[in-house]
């Protein structure tokens, strides 16, 4: 018996060493840490840890133990939640959607501002627990009632479930603002990454709804605004920068949109886009719309690749507004509320933020733009992690708080 245990232990040790060595090799060969990052070794180490966990998750999935997605969510939900005595927290359900309500405990002379928050996580990760501290901080610092939406995600749910869950939860909340002591004239939608893109989609869906209070403002923190042009300058410049690489983003897009991974190349090169569609959308999606200071001399736009009809039939839903909100018609964009847009210099989604900002401004929508030169994708979730935090993390949170307090 002891012999078999020894063999098993030795096998586990060899496997662990092999996995670590393989991940370290791949990490060293591919990961790029830009010179503008304030703590490059810290970011490199954190990303190595994430890649290691993702690799173990893939191994567990192949062994039939659990999916990689659920493994990572299980781990990140082990992170401690800080209970703030200045904020009362209530877990609720709006239909099938779990939500979490954050209400400042201090007395108020009147109805408070309302924030509806959609978390990030690439349609895969993220949860009410992971973003609990961030939401509690936002509610306290802005003296607002905040609703965090725990939308459903991969691997069990696919597009357009995130948008539908967030829209339904938001409508439910907007119809009951008086119950929660919220001023109907001061409701803000706020989101990060895929949550930022969801802010755009939900805000557009609520345009013209006379039965609901009008959204006062939208806050989009490095949002994903489209999944059409993955050859924008930021996708090329930051394709191997933590925490969101172009390869991993393409994987997540394929998973969420139920596109077979064999179409990865067609997705990245844009060969699924019909010429007539690109003729319409290039005025919004072309790299020509990116300011010169964000381009490099080596950037040679060659997009889209020659049209592939089979790829189009597989991926044509990427051209739907509910998946790429930047493609909404002008008359819808023109009716949107003012926006606060955050972009990060070392983020593949930097240009999504820049393009959506321009899209809004071109239709007369007021936009406050906050660019974080040393920022990277996902940095905001680290704002309260002490030694694991970065200056850009706190900068983004402070900027968001400052903007919302001005509403």
Q: Is-catalytic flag, 320? A: no
Q: From residue 117, give the alpha-carbon distance in Å to each of 36, 146, 273, 372.
A: 29, 7, 32, 21
**Which residue among the candidates 193, 271, 324, 393 is catalytic per the annotation?**
193
Q: Is-catalytic flag, 286? A: no
Nearest to 126 by CA among 194, 53, 220: 194
Q: Cβ(72)–Cβ(53) under 8 Å?
A: yes
Q: Which helix (H) or strand (E) holds 71?
A: helix 68-76
Q: What is the DSSP letter of 185?
A: E
CB atoms within 10 A of CB 373: 12
Buried b (16+ CB within 10 A) or exposed e, 176-186: ebeebebbeeb
Torsion of CA 245, 130, 151, 222, to 10 degrees: -40
Which of left, alpha, beta for 69 (phi over 0: left; psi -120 to 50: alpha)? Answer: alpha
> Which residue's entry shows tokens 């002591």?
181
**Which residue among the candidates 165, 183, 347, 351 is catalytic per the annotation?**
347
Q: Is-catalytic flag, 393? A: no
Contacts (Cβ under 8 Å, ≥6 apart) of 216: 185, 186, 187, 188, 337, 338, 407
**Which residue among the candidates 27, 119, 132, 377 is catalytic per the annotation?**
377
Known catalytic residues are 193, 347, 377
């Amino acid at each position: 018996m002891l012999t078999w245990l020894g063999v098993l232990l030795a096998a586990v040790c060899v496997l662990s060493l092999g996995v670590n060595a393989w991940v370290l090799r791949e990490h060293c060969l591919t990961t790029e840490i830009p010179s503008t990052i304030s703590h490059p070794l810290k970011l490199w180490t954190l990303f190595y840890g994430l890649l290691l966990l993702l690799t173990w998750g893939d191994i567990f999935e192949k062994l039939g133990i659990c999916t990689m997605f659920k493994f990572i969510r299980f781990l990140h939900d082990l992170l401690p939640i800080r209970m703030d005595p200045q904020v009362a927290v209530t877990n609720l359900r709006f239909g099938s959607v779990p939500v979490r309500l954050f209400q400042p405990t201090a007395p108020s002379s009147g109805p408070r501002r309302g924030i509806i928050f959609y978390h990030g996580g690439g349609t895969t990760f993220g949860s009410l627990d992971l973003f609990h501290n961030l939401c509690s901080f936002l509610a306290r610092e802005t003296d607002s009632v905040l609703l965090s939406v725990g939308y459903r995600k991969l691997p069990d749910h696919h597009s357009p479930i995130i948008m539908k869950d967030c829209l339904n939860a938001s409508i439910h909340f907007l119809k009951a603002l008086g119950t929660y002591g919220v001023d109907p004239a001061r409701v803000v939608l706020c989101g990060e990454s895929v949550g930022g893109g969801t802010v755009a989609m939900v805000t557009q869906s609520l345009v013209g709804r006379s039965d609901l209070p009008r959204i006062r403002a939208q806050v989009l923190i490095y949002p994903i605004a489209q999944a059409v042009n993955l050859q924008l300058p930021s996708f090329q410049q930051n394709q191997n920068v933590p925490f969101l690489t172009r390869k991993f983003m393409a994987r997540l897009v394929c998973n969420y949109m139920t596109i077979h991974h064999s179409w990865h190349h067609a997705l990245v090169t844009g060969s699924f886009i019909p010429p007539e569609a690109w003729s319409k959308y290039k005025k919004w999606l072309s790299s020509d719309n990116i300011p010169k200071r964000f381009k490099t001399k080596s950037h040679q736009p060659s997009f889209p690749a020659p049209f592939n009809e089979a790829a189009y039939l597989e991926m044509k839903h990427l051209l739907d507004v509910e998946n790429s909100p930047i493609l909404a018609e002008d008359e819808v964009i023109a009716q949107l509320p003012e926006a606060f847009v955050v972009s990060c210099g070392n983020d593949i989604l930097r240009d999504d933020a820049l393009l959506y900002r321009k899209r809004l401004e071109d239709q007369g929508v007021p936009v406050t733009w906050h660019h974080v030169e040393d920022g990277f994708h996902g940095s905001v979730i680290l704002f309260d992690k002490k030694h694991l935090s970065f200056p850009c993390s706190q900068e983004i949170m402070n900027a968001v708080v400052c903007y919302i307090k001005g509403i």
